[in-house]
């Protein structure tokens, strides 16, 4: 990762910043939406953040608390010069920082240097400097999460049913979750799934 950071430094000064005011938060949110849109289009996935109300929610969420000197939603940016190459959103409370979302610039020369992983490392260093004890990257399996978080917190799905329709719905829900888990744990199935998504995206266009 140090080598990748040096490659980015060859393009310009690399810096991590946590938004200190609503204007900087809005700029990071704009960058996040652009980066997320490009990434979801590349993967052939529906982007929930394309909804204008999603942006409005994040802006209002980030604005909460600024008057008191800290935002409810923390927004972090990794910069190469003036260019935002990665963003990270988190909640900080008590002794814990919880990651909510991460995105990175999809330009090939930038993306190949893993700016998403670099900003996660920067956020962890920032959290340690501020005295936080625990850091997590939320639900889901991903290689960058395994590299950063040394412990797994077990999760499980539960469905309670009280009618025949409810039991059928619970069976379908839990069955779908098991299938999804199996796909995500199989590199071959994940690769096939990715190809099908791209084909669906092209067909839809």
pLDDT in tens, 47-72: 888 888 888 888 888 887 665 556 67
| Residue 205 in this model has a pLDDT that exceeds 60 | no
193, pLDDT greater than 60: yes
Residue 2 confidence class, pLDDT cut points 50, 70, 90: confident
Please report the pLDDT score of residue 70 as a whole number. 61
Q: Higher-confidence residue: 139 or 24?
A: 24
Element (H, E) at 77: strand 73-80
- Position 14 scores a pLDDT of 93
What would the pLDDT profile of 119-159 be if each residue is shown by its tens digit? 999 999 999 999 999 999 888 777 788 888 888 888 788 88
Work out the average pLDDT over 193-200.
Answer: 69
Residue 42 CA, chain-centre distance (Å), reads 16
Distance CA 104, CA 87 (A): 6
Tokens of 39: 């990434």
pLDDT score at 20: 86
Residue 24, CA distances (Å) to 51, 62, 88, 113 in order: 21, 10, 13, 24
Give 81-105 pLDDT, tens digit per residue.
999 999 999 998 889 999 999 999 9
- For residues 12 and 5, give the distance between their C-alpha atoms in angstroms, rounded to a whole number: 11
Contact (Cβ atoms closer than 8 angstroms) between residue 99 and residue 120: yes
Homologous superfamily (CATH) of 2-148 is Gcn5-related N-acetyltransferase (GNAT) (3.40.630.30)
Question: What ranges do the domains of the chain cover?
Answer: 2-148, 164-204
Rounded to the nearest 10 degrees, what angle do helices 22-43 and 52-63 cross at? Answer: 150
Query: Would you state the structure tokens that stand for residue 59, as one six-digit string?
Result: 């802006």
Instruction: Check if the beta carbon of residue 175 is closer than 8 Å to that of residue 147.
Output: no
Asked whether residue 201 carries a pLDDT value surpassing 70, the answer given is no
pLDDT for the residue 75: 93
Helices (H) and strands (E) in the chain, counts: 8, 5
- Measured distance CA(135)–CA(87) in Å, rounded: 17
Whole-number pLDDT of residue 158: 85
In angstroms, the CA 20 to CA 66 distance is 8
Residue 35 to residue 53: CA distance in whole angstroms:
17
């Amino acid at each position: 990762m140090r080598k990748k950071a040096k490659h980015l430094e060859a393009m310009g000064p690399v810096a991590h910043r946590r938004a200190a005011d609503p204007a900087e938060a809005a700029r990071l949110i704009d960058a996040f939406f652009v980066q997320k849109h490009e990434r979801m289009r590349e993967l052939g996935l529906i982007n929930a953040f394309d909804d204008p109300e999603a942006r409005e929610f994040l802006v209002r969420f980030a604005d909460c608390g600024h008057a008191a000197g800290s935002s409810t939603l923390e927004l972090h940016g990794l910069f190469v010069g003036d260019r935002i190459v990665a963003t990270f959103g988190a909640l900080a409370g008590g002794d814990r920082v919880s990651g909510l979302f991460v995105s990175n610039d999809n330009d090939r020369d930038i993306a190949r240097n893993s700016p998403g992983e670099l900003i996660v490392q920067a956020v962890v260093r920032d959290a340690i400097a501020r005295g936080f004890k625990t850091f997590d990257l939320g639900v889901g399996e991903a290689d960058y999460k395994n590299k950063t978080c040394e412990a797994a917190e077990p999760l499980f799905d539960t469905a309670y049913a009280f009618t025949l329709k409810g039991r059928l719905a619970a069976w379908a829900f839990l069955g779908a979750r098991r299938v999804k888990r199996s796909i995500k744990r199989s590199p071959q199935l994940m690769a096939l799934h990715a190809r099908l998504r791209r084909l669906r995206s092209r067909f839809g266009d």
